[in-house]
Amino acid sequence: MWRRLVGLLLAFAAATVALWLLSVRLSAGQAGRPLRFPSDLEELRELAEALRDYERQHRGAALALFCAAYLYKQSFAIPGNVLAGALFGPWTGLVLCSALTSVGATFCYLLSGAFGKQFVVYYFPDKVALLQRKVEENRSCLFFFLLFLRLFPMTPNWFLNLSAPILNIPVSQFFFSVLIGLTPYNFICVQTGAILSQITSLDAIFSWDTLLKLLAMAVAALIPGTLIKKYSTKHLKLDEDKHAQLVNGKKSL
């Protein structure tokens, strides 16, 4: 067990160092204000503009660094993807996020399969057992069950990524369920980033243009979920009373 923990820590350390070296190499010689988390709307707009300027001047470097950072966060179950919309625009950002989310989640699947199975089972035994039972009950239509879990998460996405190899979920079905199932979520995040990067004042948030965009986002995100839910009520075996247990049940650390 400890050997697997050491292996996971070494993989995390190696990926962290590699990402840092890539960021230093690609940004070498670039003058500008240091990057930091924005504390207000004006700082957010300035940060987005600075990143867009760098992306326009060094498109290949910016794309490589963004992809590396995104895969890093997905592989080690670190959340966050709004920046894509502000940096690359709504549609390019959506394509990037959807592809990178799928690849990164698959890396997380493979890392868990190689190093993390024992830790996931040890710390979340009840949660794994319940999810295993639901997977087996829906094995005949597993792909649609996985889509349901992504669109209506009865368990966090990071936990599903970590537990998938324990549940004997084929990697191909896992990959495409992430690609399709998280597209509405990625769409909302990317569109939000694109909208925030264009807002110059708080008054602009309540403009008709912004409100219509937000309404369109909500409608677009609801359509796939509605279709999957209609399918699930007829073909999937779901026990609503178990959902809360699956979300909350875990062994104390």
For the cut 80, the answer to whether the pLDDT of residue 140 exceeds it is yes
Q: What does DSSP assign to residue 123?
A: H
Average pLDDT, the chain: 77
- What is the average pLDDT across 209-216? 75
Residue 135: the pLDDT is 92
For the cut 50, the answer to whether the pLDDT of residue 251 exceeds it is no
For the cut 80, the answer to whether the pLDDT of residue 189 exceeds it is yes
For the cut 50, the answer to whether the pLDDT of residue 253 exceeds it is no
Going by C-alpha positions, the residue among 64, 100, 108, 107 that lies closest to residue 80 is: 100
- As a whole number of angstroms, the distance between CA 159 and CA 172 comes to 18
Higher pLDDT, 252 or 231: 231
For the cut 70, the answer to whether the pLDDT of residue 54 exceeds it is yes
For the cut 80, the answer to whether the pLDDT of residue 71 exceeds it is yes
> For residue 201, what pLDDT band results from cuts at 50, 70 and 90?
low
For the cut 90, the answer to whether the pLDDT of residue 230 exceeds it is no
Residue 115: the pLDDT is 87
For the cut 80, the answer to whether the pLDDT of residue 75 exceeds it is no
| Helix axis angle, 183-198 to 41-57, nearest 10° | 100
Going by C-alpha positions, the residue among 192, 193, 182 that lies closest to residue 214 is: 192
Greatest mean pLDDT range, 56-60, 160-164, 195-199: 160-164
- What is the average pLDDT across 64-89? 75
C-alpha 17, offset from chain centre: 22
> For residue 252, what pLDDT band results from cuts at 50, 70 and 90?
very low
Higher pLDDT, 93 or 27: 93
* Amino acid (1-letter code) at residue 218: A
Residue 103: the pLDDT is 94
- The pLDDT > 90 percentage for the chain reads 25
Q: Are 93 and 84 in contact (CB under 8 A)?
A: yes
For the cut 80, the answer to whether the pLDDT of residue 31 exceeds it is no
